[in-house]
Amino acid sequence: GLGSLISCMIPWFEGAPLPVSNLAVKIFDSEISKVQPARVEGLPIEFLSTKTYDCFNVVLSNNSGTEWKGKVIAQLPESKFKSCSDLLTGQKLNSKYRKDHTAEVYVTVPAYEVRVISWIKN
C-alpha cells in the first residue's frame, strides 16, 4: 500500500549456473514474504495465488516423487472467506481463520500432482 517493488535477478547475483546469493535468500525469506498474499510452510513446492472479489486460490504443484505435506497460509483481510476446499478433488478442508487476518490449512499433495486450494466468501 505504500509503493511497489520491482526486482530482477541481476542485483541478487543470480545467474544461470549460480544459486541466489545468501543475502537475497534472507531478504526473500524475511522481508518479501511479509507482504506475499500467500505463504507455504513445508517447502520445497511451487505455488502461486490468485484473488477475485469472492474467492482466493492457491495452486500447489508438487514436482517431486515424494508426497508433500505442509501448511498454506493466506492473507485474507475479510473474515468472510471461510469456506475452503480443494477445487480438483471437491474435498472440504479445515481452514482456520486467525486474528492476524490470515487463514491456514494443512494440505497433502501426492507426488507429481497439483492441488488448487480455494477460499470462497460465505
CB 101 within 8 A of CB 75: yes
Higher pLDDT residue, 71 or 5?
A: 71
Q: pTM of the full predicted structure?
A: 0.75
Q: Are 27 and 62 in contact (CB under 8 A)?
A: no
Q: For the residues 46-70, what does the mean pLDDT come to?
A: 93
Task: Average the pLDDT over 48-53 and give the result.
Answer: 89
Which residue type sits at 49? S
Tell me the three cell numbers of residue 87. 477445487
SS3 readout for the chain: CCCCCCCCCHHHCCECCECCCHHHHHHHHHCHHHHCCEEEECCCCEEEEEECCCEEEEEEECCCCCCEEEEEEEECCCCCEEEEEECCCCCECCCEECCCCEEEEEEEECCCCEEEEEEEEC
- Summarised one tens digit per residue, pLDDT across range 67-115 is 999 999 998 877 777 789 999 999 999 998 888 888 999 999 999 999 9
